Amino acid sequence: MLTLKLIGEETERVVKGLEKKHFPDARATIDKVLELDKTRREYQQKLDANKQKQNQLSKQIGALMKEGKRSEAEDVKNSVGTLKQVDKELQQSMEKAQNDMTALLLTIPNIASEQVPEGRDAADNVVVKEGGVKPKLPADALCHWDLCKKFNLVDFDLGVKITGAGFPIYIGKMARLQRALEAFFLDEARKSGYLEVQPPLVVNQASGLGTGQLPDKEGQMYHAELDDLYLIPTAEVPVTNIFRDEILDEQDLPIKRCAYSSCFRREAGSYGKDVRGLNRLHQFDKVELVRIDTPQHSYESLREMLEHVEGLCQKLELPYHILRLCGGDMSFTSALCYDFELWSAAQERWLEISSVSNFESYQANRLHCRYRRTADKKIELCHTLNGSALALPRVVATIVENNQTPEGIRVPEVLVPYCGFEMLDGNNF
């Protein structure tokens, strides 16, 4: 959530940042926020003045009673009673202005960083780096869904029977490869200084609000209505919320956490070739990186996270490119976001496998996540960052397609010690 200080002191930057994200009626919305804040402050001032007058009159009552002027004291008491009633009305008006302003602030996305390129959709994203070598496959090469069926690695139909589309069952060596990827990603995160945590897979409403998944305007979260709990779309939500309502010491920053979890997304509105096979699932596994940092160091943290994810792609021997997202393709909460995509050779298309984002103080303001500066003990909002490192399904899809041979699928060398075999083939034990 944008801070009132930022909106009030840097109004033009806020409006331009929102317009870059193509937020409709940016200026009118920001003007409305400022108007509601002014109204709230005016009611607060009237309330303070009213209470001050009550205190003055209350002192008069005691003095009048000592002088035996009971009738005059009663008149003053009645005046105090009237002022108390006015208090209630002022309090209600002030709270309404506050609630209306908060509700409006929750609908406003984070502003785009100055580094964000202009653009409306994915076609306007900017490729900032490429790496790896695209494999040359034979004419009869298969897409991963056919290869998984050929070697009995993933059963999509059985998942439909048990749950529905988007919930595949991994079999034998493929199940072991999933565990190998999880362990590899977590080990690499630990080597980079991330402390592993194992978070809950469901969160309450406050957690969803804190990281910006709620209000869920696109209906992407699974909601357990009886308990009012939400299945997590990413471990970012519970891990970042560890630091909700906390005041951290500057000397302890940056805080680095990683977590493996299952993720659940309704993917409402998804259809066509983009959802085939492992391309888009309702349940999938992912290792997530989360950082809590100071405003002065957060973009250095972002650079380090990008290097970490790039290193994973390189070690898996997968061709990749890195995109800086344009304003129109960014998430609601991010100030600057980079996507990593892997080249799927059989599908001849790029598949997104990671987003690495700096949210600056946007999430921290919702979370009340702050830090105490060492120099002057002043308390300020933290910056939060997160990134996938990595999401498994499309990594698996790319490995399967790019490394296919007539005998099976070659496992990247770095994963062999983790899974104990070099080929995904018909021998599934």
- Which residues line the annotated binding site for L-serine? 234, 265, 288, 386
What's the token pair of residue 11? 């109004």
| Selection from 362, 371, 357 nearest residue 243 by Cα | 371
What is the enclosing helix (H) or strand (E) of 210?
A: helix 205-211
Q: What residue spans of 224-354 are helical by DSSP H? A: 236-241, 298-315
Q: Is 132 helix (H, G, I), strand (E, B) or coil?
A: coil
C-alpha–C-alpha distance, residues 174 and 167, integer Å: 15
User: Which residues are documented as binding site?
Assistant: 234, 265-267, 288, 352-355, 386
- 120 CB burial (10 A radius; 0-12, 13-18, 19+): exposed
- Please, are residues 335 and 113 in contact by the beta-carbon 8 Å criterion? yes
User: What is the sign of the dihedral through the CA atoms of 216, 219, 225 and 230?
Assistant: negative
Closest CA to 242 of 306, 182, 195, 187: 195
Q: Which residues are annotated as a binding site for ATP?
A: 265-267, 352-355
> What are the φ and ψ backbone dihedral angles of 310, each rounded to 5 degrees?
-60, -40
